[in-house]
Amino acid sequence: MAKARAVTAVAKEPEPIVEEMHFRSDNAFLCLLLNRRTKAIRVIDFRAGALPAKRLFIQSVAQREGVEKVLLLVEKDEVSSWTRVGFVREGTVPGFYKRSDGHLVGCVIGERTASVEVSEDALKTAERTIAAARKIADGIDEPVKGMTVKETDKETAEEARDEVWLKKENQYGAFDAFGRDAARMYVEVTGKRIKTNYISAEFQDCFGHSLIEILRAPKNEQDVLGVVAALRWLNEYLKAKEIVSAFAFAPVDNLELATAFLAAGFRKTGLLAKGVLLADKRSDAILWTRKLADPSGGSETPADEEEKGADDEDEKEDE
């Protein structure tokens, strides 16, 4: 009996997949959204200024939890304070704050104080992937034939998520919280010669942005068509809810995902070092974004003009 009591005494509740952690001092206040499934941390900074104390707290939690990637989305004027403490500017989400862009800064957690940047090889790989994907995407019909897309419930989508991640079936989307107090919806896509796939959007009405996640990365042409149909359906759904922008992450060398995002009107607006986990492999990632609407009431900015504007801004900041 005494032995049984001892065993009970040391037993503890399993740690949550996603956990909020807070750091507060006289001049600093931030929240960490720790994701134990994807080994990543999203930082939400409530008080401007990236003090070294913030970086130390983030790094200590990340190292303790085995986290490999940390990222933030901030206003433009906050980027420099984070780069001064070892983070790297990695991309932009147009319309992240409705009328202003969100600037993504990230850090790869390692033994070095300075973060790892995307290599020249990764940059060239991304360019080759996008060039090859664009040729395929241009030939995908609108609408996609033979695919059925419909909204589904949280329980069904998360049950499929748990099964895919348990069996290691090319798992990609985690469907875990990326932001605080955000809503989430799910769609399923079915069709001939494809396995039912699930796509989710987490969105915040107050800011007008949405994170897009795909449960299983497509492996072949039919899988790609299914994801394209679902992404196009989601674009229209989010527009109807007056969501301004959508964004997603995908490996720099994944031709199928690049094809799907390009065919759904997304474009590359950043590169993240070790930015995504696909099938237990962490790799450099493309930040895919789409401006769904103009919050000022105008029409959606054409992708080529928007991309040119973003490139011009990047050049100015580099100078």
pLDDT of residue 232: 98
Nearest to 81 by CA among 63, 60, 54, 119: 54
Residue-level pLDDT at 309: 46
- pLDDT value of position 206: 84
At 304, list the tokens: 């080529």
Structure tokens at 180: 């605080």
**CA geometry: angle 112, 117, 122, nearest 5 deg:** 135
What residue spans in the chain does CATH classification 3.40.630.30 cover? 14-108, 120-318
pLDDT value at residue 111: 64
Whether residue 175 contacts residue 157, with contact meaning beta carbons closer than 8 Å, is answered with: yes
Residue 112's pLDDT is 62
Contact criterion met (CB below 8 Å) for 115 and 89: no
The separation between the first and the last C-alpha atoms of the chain, rounded to the nearest angstrom, is: 72
Model's pTM, two decimal places?
0.89
Q: In degrees rounded to 5, what are phi and psi of residue 171?
A: -65, 140
Looking at residue 228, its pLDDT comes to 98
Amino acid at 42: R
pLDDT, averaged per 10 consecutive residues of the chain (319 residues), comes to 49 85 88 96 88 90 94 94 93 94 93 76 97 97 94 98 94 96 96 95 91 97 97 96 96 98 98 95 97 68 44 46
Compute the distance between CA of residue 271 and CA of residue 151 in angstroms, rounded to an integer: 31
Query: 88-93 and 69-74 as β-strands: parallel, antiparallel, unpaired?
Result: unpaired
CATH fold of 14-108: Aminopeptidase (3.40.630)
In this prediction, residue 28 carries a pLDDT of 85
Q: ∠ CA(101), CA(34), CA(86), 5° rounding?
A: 60
Distance in angstroms (rounded) separating the CA atoms of residues 195 and 227: 11
Task: Look up the CATH number of domain 120-318.
Answer: 3.40.630.30
Give residue 11's pLDDT.
Answer: 57
What's the confidence (pLDDT) of residue 114?
A: 61
Tokens standing for 255?
A: 């031709």
Task: Classify residue 312 as exposed, middle or buried by CB count within 10 Å of its CB (0-12, 13-18, 19+).
Answer: exposed
